[in-house]
Amino acid sequence: MKDCMFDEKQRYDDFPVAMAYVPWQKTNETYECLEKAFEEGTLFPILNKPFTGRRCV
């Protein structure tokens, strides 16, 4: 995948403190079944992080 806007070589230690950083989504893999995606609430398995009231599963 042609590199996206985020430059991997940028070292995290150079980032200003107290800022939140979200790791880049590297895969475009999707659920085969759209109904599954619709029920899970995401098209991308990698983003499927159901909140269960305790630790994320």
Partner 1 sequence: MMSKEQQKLLYEISMIDFAIVELNEYLDTHPYDTESVQYIAQYNRVKNKMMREYASKYSPLAVRYAEDESEWSWTMTPLPWEGGCN
- Point out which span in 12-20, 28-36, 48-56 binds partner 1 (CB under 8 A): 28-36
Residue 48 in the binding site for partner 1 (CB under 8 A): no
Nearest to 46 by CA among 32, 33, 28, 34: 28
- Point out which span in 8-16, 26-34, 49-57 binds partner 1 (CB under 8 A): 26-34
Residue 30 in the binding site for partner 1 (CB under 8 A): yes
Residue 37 in the binding site for partner 1 (CB under 8 A): yes
Nearest to 1 by CA among 37, 30, 25: 25
